[in-house]
Structure 1
């Protein structure tokens, strides 16, 4: 790979794509929550991924991707991680405010960023992240306590998000933007049986179709396509840390669209997690090669 410094335009382009993707996906999450009373989180995830698969199939024509046995394995892991991330995140939204769910989920990419560096200063960022988690999940029943099951779902989504970053970067290097379509199709096939078993015929409710289509575009088709472009232009560690403002997007979206008001301690917790990620970004060494998943 060329070791020459990147131009300002080449650096800002993928960053701008990530900002658009984050705003889009959190707006879509707010819209998706309106579907929970009819088909539940499982059904909502299924409809979102199925509609997104159709959209991306038509636009990106993933059948043109050239897959080897090795790249197919990587894409499969990427797709399964994508499906798990979607399902577990929506499961968490049943009982946890959007901003808090995003903050807990964000521990996944933050872990990728810190593990990739493993420097002494990273212990500071680890400490900040832990403080944020303790503020979000306080010991005992208090006015700011959150549902522990919902929190566990959000943390599980974070694990899947970490796998999504690692395997998505490598899969994207093989087939570019078409990988996003392949990943969403695999995710839909993984999640669909769960959604069908839970919601059944309710998934065919006509009134849900335009809402599900909007969620598919805002939460999957648009942001994952943009993120795949960014993943192929940024190291995985940089990608993970640049996502640091995602919890803020989630909290603001929850406030604006769902009227979810957070306590001062919860806002401080989100700030701690954001600062941990920003700190990891500012203190990381410059890299000339992207971080990829181990074979």
Structure 2
């Protein structure tokens, strides 16, 4: 590799790390908003503001949509169905992970959530090595379950919501491959708009009688940190890095979440919890490095 290529790859890798840190910092700000508007309100604010930002960036009404299955510049009925399903799953993922964050530390919630993309990769593999990654991830998850007599047990409902978010993430990847036929930027903008159908009713139902003005400001910060900024960073970086490297760097998310949770919210993990998070990080990283390119690139098509 030439020196300019080395610098480009380094900057692209740094962009992925910054994007992951931004997502987790956004999660910490979101959690600080829970006492004001609840996790449902934060999810509604995030998706609504993110949709407006992404629509302004994508401007789907101002240019032709170019996709592999497009004809005459119009989205087909099949593609609309995938976009609708993609957006509904995206909305469910936002709600589930915020419900989890209300009950368990951010780093642990993110560690459980990455079981979603890990499961997508393992579902297409039959190698013994990938089976061992699965065993490692399940072992990490078992360490987090609040077995009777365990000191500082985690909230079981929080673990359940995190697993729900993981399932939504897996569906998000599978639906995103189809939704991305209209173009990744357009798909994310439309998908985030559809996600509001899920989050806004919950947000309105849980909304306080009067919404503090600074809550809207924090909601804007959450939307930028959790969606708009990482989306732009990751989409730019993915053109410079292989899917395996992107997956490897993205596997750092639980560790970054635990660090951000400690620095911003004073969330302290026990030694056993750190071990569980580390096991799930290693499982995700190993699976990403060993995955076949077509499978590993499932999340490259559409990012949010």
Match of 1:218 in 2: 225
**Cα shift at 1:240:** 5.4
Match of 1:111 in 2: 119
* Structure 1 pair 236–291 and aligned structure 2 pair: CA distance change class (3 A): farther
- Give yes or no for contact 1:176–1:229 (8 Å, CA) kept in 2: no
- Give yes or no for contact 1:180–1:224 (8 Å, CA) kept in 2: no
Q: Does 1:144 align with 2:142?
A: no
* Structure 1 pair 114–234 and aligned structure 2 pair: CA distance change class (3 A): farther
Match of 1:162 in 2: 170
* Structure 1 pair 52–287 and aligned structure 2 pair: CA distance change class (3 A): closer
Structure 2 CA distance, aligned partners of 1:37 and 1:106?
Answer: 26
Provide, for residues 207-239 of structure 1, a one-character-per-residue CA deviation record: whole Å limited to 9, x for no partner.
211111101100122223444566788898886
* Structure 1 pair 241–159 and aligned structure 2 pair: CA distance change class (3 A): farther
User: TM-score, normalised on structure 2?
Assistant: 0.84
Map residues 165-176 of structure 1 onto 2, 5 A cutoff. 165-176=173-184
* Structure 1 pair 138–177 and aligned structure 2 pair: CA distance change class (3 A): same
**Cα shift at 1:87:** 0.6
Q: Secondary structure at the match of 2:255?
A: helix
Provide, for residues 230-253 of structure 1, a one-character-per-residue CA deviation record: whole Å limited to 9, x for no partner.
678889888656521111111111
Q: Secondary structure at the match of 2:150?
A: coil
- Matching residue within 225, 229, 254 for 1:247: 254
* Structure 1 pair 189–272 and aligned structure 2 pair: CA distance change class (3 A): same
- Give yes or no for contact 1:165–1:240 (8 Å, CA) kept in 2: no
Structure 2 CA distance, aligned partners of 1:228 and 1:41?
Answer: 27
**Cα shift at 1:261:** 0.8
Match of 1:264 in 2: 271
* Structure 1 pair 55–222 and aligned structure 2 pair: CA distance change class (3 A): same
Match of 1:190 in 2: 198
Q: Secondary structure at the match of 1:44?
A: helix
Structure 2 CA distance, aligned partners of 1:231 and 1:132?
Answer: 29
- Give yes or no for contact 2:244–2:296 (8 Å, CA) kept in 1: no
Gaps of 5+ in 2: 66-73, 300-304
Match of 2:213 in 1: 206
* Structure 1 pair 291–235 and aligned structure 2 pair: CA distance change class (3 A): farther
Q: Which moved more, 1:215-224 or 1:163-172?
A: 163-172
User: TM-score, normalised on structure 1?
Assistant: 0.86
* Structure 1 pair 209–83 and aligned structure 2 pair: CA distance change class (3 A): same
- Matching residue within 32, 36, 53 for 1:34: 32
**Cα shift at 1:143:** 1.6
* Structure 1 pair 194–285 and aligned structure 2 pair: CA distance change class (3 A): closer
Structure 1 CA distance, aligned partners of 2:198 and 2:6?
Answer: 40
- Give yes or no for contact 1:237–1:291 (8 Å, CA) kept in 2: no
Match of 1:3 in 2: none
Q: Which moved more, 1:242-251 or 1:59-68?
A: 59-68
* Structure 1 pair 286–111 and aligned structure 2 pair: CA distance change class (3 A): same
Q: Does 1:75 align with 2:83?
A: yes
Gaps of 5+ in 1: 1-6
